[in-house]
């Protein structure tokens, strides 16, 4: 198991381990902390592993790094072109998808070199609600059980030239296509604004095991139009 975040010490069984923002431990009892101690930069928020788990991709406030899962050292030749914070990572069929707070909010990278591989070519995710209240960004995402669709949540109002507020879905295996494509799926109820302090009120989502349903959790207290009872809309709901 690999974990990332904002910390400097891990405590287990009365023992303390110095770990800066990343550590790993056995997934089986007694869940022993490993010696893995990568020298990362900045607070981390996302982890992805290569097939076979030889490489760990770590995303955070200082961009994206690739390190060895055995030594913790940087992987030679990997230089990611992500100029900003990375909050979501996914290794998918030879592509390393990175989402976060940077121009376009979504990039697909070559997992060996870190260069843009064009799989999400033309990704233009922009806007925030209310305008200027929060920076445009991708917060998190979930891969469908079949591995073909990617559900994405964040602070945005448009994607690929179409209205998409807070949530969108990409088809990673479009017919006769070599790049990911925005799907028609959307619910305009997510255009509504909750209380001003919660411009990003869609917080998490999950797929059903068969991929036919999506479960969404929100916050936001009540619609921005004012306090009503009973509350209507999708603010503060599941």
**Gyration radius (Cα) of the chain, Å:** 19
pLDDT at 113: 97
Give me the residues of the chain with pLDDT under 70, please. 128-133, 226-232
The pLDDT, as a whole number, for residue 232 is 63
- What does the pLDDT read at residue 227? 59
For position 87, what pLDDT does the model report?
96
Q: Which residues pair with 201 in a beta bridge?
A: none
In this structure, what are the phi and psi dihedrals at residue 195, rounded to the nearest 5 degrees?
A: -50, 145
Total Cβ atoms within 10 A of residue 45? 21
**Contact at 8 Å (CB) between 91 and 51?**
yes
| pLDDT of 130 | 56
In the sheet with 106-109, reading across from the earlier edge strand, the strands are 85-92, 95-101, 106-109
Quick: pLDDT tens for 152-185.
Answer: 999 999 999 999 999 999 999 998 778 999 999 9
Q: What pLDDT sits at residue 228? A: 60
* Both tokens assigned to 227: 């306090």
3-state secondary structure labels for all residues of the chain = CEEECCCCEEEECCEEEECCCEEEECCCCCCCECCCCCCCCCCEEEEEECCCCCEEEEEECCEEEEEECCCCCECCCCCCCCCCEEEEEEEECCEEEEEEECCCCEEEECCCCCCECCCCCCCCEECCCCCCCCCCEEEEEEECCCCCEEEEEEECCEECCEECCCEEEEECCCCCCCCCEECCCCCHHHHCCECHHHCCCEEEEEECCCCCCEEEEECCCCECCCCCCCCCCCCCCC
């Amino acid at each position: 198991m690999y974990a990332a975040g904002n910390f400097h010490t891990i405590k287990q069984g009365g023992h303390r381990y110095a770990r800066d923002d990343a550590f790993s431990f056995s997934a089986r009892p007694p869940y022993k902390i490993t010696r893995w101690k990568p020298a990362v930069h900045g607070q981390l928020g996302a982890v992805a592993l290569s097939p076979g788990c030889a490489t760990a991709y770590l995303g955070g406030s200082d961009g994206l790094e690739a390190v060895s899962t055995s030594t913790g050292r940087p992987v030679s030749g990997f230089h990611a072109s992500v100029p900003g914070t990375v909050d979501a990572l996914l290794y998918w069929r030879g592509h390393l998808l990175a989402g976060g707070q940077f121009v376009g909010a979504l990039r697909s990278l070559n997992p060996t070199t870190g260069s843009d591989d064009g799989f999400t070519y033309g990704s233009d995710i922009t806007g925030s609600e209310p305008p200027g209240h929060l920076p445009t960004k991708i917060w998190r995402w979930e891969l469908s059980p079949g591995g073909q669709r990617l559900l994405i949540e964040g602070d945005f109002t448009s994607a690929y030239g179409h209205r998409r507020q807070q949530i969108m879905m990409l088809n990673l295996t479009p017919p006769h296509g070599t790049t990911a494509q925005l799907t028609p799926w959307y619910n305009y109820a997510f255009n509504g604004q909750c209380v001003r302090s919660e411009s990003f009120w869609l917080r998490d989502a999950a797929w059903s095991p068969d991929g036919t349903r999506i479960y969404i959790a929100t916050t936001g207290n009540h619609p921005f139009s004012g306090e009503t009872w009973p509350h209507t809309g999708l603010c503060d709901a599941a």
